Amino acid sequence: MTPVVEELSKELATQVYILKIDVDQYEELAEQYRVQSVPTFILFDKGEAVWRKSGIVNKSVLLEEAEKLIK
């Protein structure tokens, strides 16, 4: 998934922040957002988690969901 995340980061660079968190290093954060499997994608709007998906996610799905928040 890393190549997909990197592509999206470049494509959406001026519109969104894309962060990759090491759940082993930031266990408290993983617990706070109830991350039980890796990868887990969470989209936030104004600090609130509004969409989440665990497992492999198609780039087009991630892009579509991010674009909904941008508009």
Q: Is 14's pLDDT higher than 90?
A: yes
Tokens of 66: 């991010």
pTM: 0.89
Residue-level pLDDT at 64: 96
User: Is residue 71 very low, low, confident or very high in pLDDT (cuts 50, 70, 90)?
Assistant: confident
**Per-residue pLDDT tens over the stretch 21-68:** 999 999 999 999 999 999 999 999 999 999 999 999 999 999 999 999
DSSP 7: H
* Helix residue ranges per DSSP H, 12-71: 27-32, 59-70
Residues 6+ apart with CB under 8 A from 39: 1, 54, 55, 56, 57
